[in-house]
Structure 1
Amino acid sequence: MLIVAGIGCRRGATGDVVVEAIDMALRTSGLTRTQLALLAVPDEKMHEAGIHAAARDVGVAVAPVTQQAMERVSAGALTISARVQDLKGVPSVAETAALAAAGNGARLLAPRSANTMATCAIATGDGR
């Protein structure tokens, strides 16, 4: 099974802040960094330097996820933020990014973890 960390963040979030969110989500899910295969982010966030710094620190690649893909899996989200729904069209950016990238049979291992600048959710799926 593929293990994916979905990331949501504010503009300008540093790599350290993103890694903090990843580590919180991994701990909550009972996993370690070595089990993580990929960071999934909305394609609009692919330019964020903090996400790429976090991926280097954790040792995984970054994969863009389209808005459409996130919307398709939004029913599987565990967290529902009215603000995020209004702004982004999905109940949770981190959760839907993780679900979309994890592939068929994707499921969240826990609700998203958050700090002041970033959110992270861990999903598992077959990667297809």
Structure 2
Amino acid sequence: MIVAGFGFSSSATLASLRTVLELAAEGQNVNALATVADKAGHAAIAALADATGLPVHFVPTDDLAEQRTLTCSPRSRATYGTGSVAESSALAAAGHGARLISPRQISDDRLATCAVAIGGHS
């Protein structure tokens, strides 16, 4: 399974998420979206799921810190205990043995990040 993970601010829009998804997932056939569970009520992720027809996995905060990331955002580290919410969400949702195939990419408006991981058993 190929999962696109997202980190984003409360002011992120569907356009922010869609743009960074296209950047991070270029050439990949993404099967699911993922983000941290406390973003479950955000309209932009729901709109992206509707627009793409992909399911969203909401990753518990504790599962983020268990993931090794390639990049490090001081804000993500302070808030969630991980270097990248996008990378950690993608890895956690892709399952045991997952690896990143696209590290965290940042939207032009700097409101969203996206990373893509592939499951260890794909």
TM exceeding 0.5: yes
1:3 matched residue in structure 2: 2
2:11 matched residue in structure 1: 12
1:48 matched residue in structure 2: 42
Report how far residue 91 of structure 1 moved: 0.5
CA RMSD, aligned part only? 1.3
One-letter code aligned to 1:107? R
- Structure 1 alignment gaps of length 5 or more: none
- TM-score normalised according to structure 1 size: 0.87
- Give the match's secondary structure for 1:111: strand
2:61 matched residue in structure 1: 67
1:23 matched residue in structure 2: 22
User: Deviations along 1:100-123, whole A, 9 cap, x unmatched?
Assistant: 000011000021111111100000
* Separation in 2, partners of 1:108, 1:126: 10
1:104 matched residue in structure 2: 96
* Separation in 2, partners of 1:53, 1:123: 21
* Separation in 2, partners of 1:63, 1:52: 11
List 4+ stretches of structure 1 deviating above 2 A: none
Structure whose residues are more often helix by fraction: 1
- Percent identity over the alignment? 39
Report how far residue 63 of structure 1 moved: 1.1
- Give the match's secondary structure for 1:112: strand
* Separation in 2, partners of 1:36, 1:72: 23
- Give the match's secondary structure for 1:105: coil
CA contact (8 A) 1:8 1:94 kept: yes
2:87 matched residue in structure 1: 95
Q: What count of residue pairs does the alignment treat as equivalent? A: 119
One-letter code aligned to 1:11? S
- Give the match's secondary structure for 1:60: coil
1:85 aligned to 2:84? no
CA contact (8 A) 1:98 1:123 kept: yes
CA contact (8 A) 2:25 2:102 kept: no
- Give the match's secondary structure for 2:70: coil
CA contact (8 A) 1:19 1:58 kept: no
